[in-house]
Amino acid sequence: MGDGTVKPRLVIFDLDGTLLDTSPGIFATAKYTMRRLGLSPDVPEEQMRKFIGPPIAQCFKVVYDLPDQYLDDALAIYKKRYVSDGQYQALVYPGMQMVLKTLKERGYLLAVGTLKNESTAVNMMRHYALAPYFVSIHGDFSTLAGGRTKADVLRLVLSDTHVKPEEAVLVGDTTHDQNGANVAGVGFVPVTYGFGFSRISAPQGSVASPQELLTRFP
């Protein structure tokens, strides 16, 4: 189903832009960080969208072209502010809880695989009442520097659940998700309601809403 041939046992969800609209907290925290560094926080909205998905260190370089001399301070400021404030500004995508409930009732194993800090991801799933649907939640290391790749995270989920790569599918909204799925050998379902793929740029087989996922995983 996920790859067009084999019905998967495991559906892994990206977090940012797939389960939750985390953009309000991420954007606000990034701009707060730049102001604390004494630098301009203002970039076009389309540029800010690049903060969704990759490791935060990479985001500051891509979005703000932040010099290396500022990077350690930026990560420390960002982490503290996001933990205290930013993570609580997210929104669950409409219909997502119903989708997770239905998929679980249909017998799928569900998991989260994100490049967000793992402890933050676990806390957010609990805060937004989504944790009970997942048998595994994995993310990046405790630092924000980006110690794990997307494929690393997916392999951890596969190890937790004892599922073969060909029996798993990642649902995600960016090319980072797609590339990670390819490297890990799992299927991929792109969504266009997040931040990375538009309906024009999305790979074949994309879905436009959480509810549409139910047609992909009957």
CATH code of the domain made up of 10-21+91-216: 3.40.50.1000
Taking residues 85-92, report their average pLDDT. Answer: 96
Taking residues 84-108, report their average pLDDT. Answer: 97
- CA torsion angle 23 66 141 124 (round to 10): -20
Q: Domain extents for the chain?
A: 10-21+91-216, 23-89
Average pLDDT for the chain: 91
Q: Where are the alpha helices (DSSP H) in the chain?
A: 23-36, 45-48, 56-64, 68-84, 96-105, 118-127, 150-161, 175-184, 213-216
Regarding pTM above 0.75, the answer is yes
Residue 145 makes CB contacts below 8 A (sequence gap 6+) with 55, 57, 75
Phi/psi for 118 (5° steps) reads -60, -45
Please answer whether residues 19 and 96 qualify as being in contact, where contact means their C-beta atoms are separated by less than 8 angstroms: yes
Taking residues 79-100, report their average pLDDT. Answer: 95
CATH superfamily of 23-89: Putative phosphatase; domain 2 (1.10.150.240)
Q: Is the pLDDT of residue 112 over 80?
A: yes
Taking residues 26-53, report their average pLDDT. Answer: 91
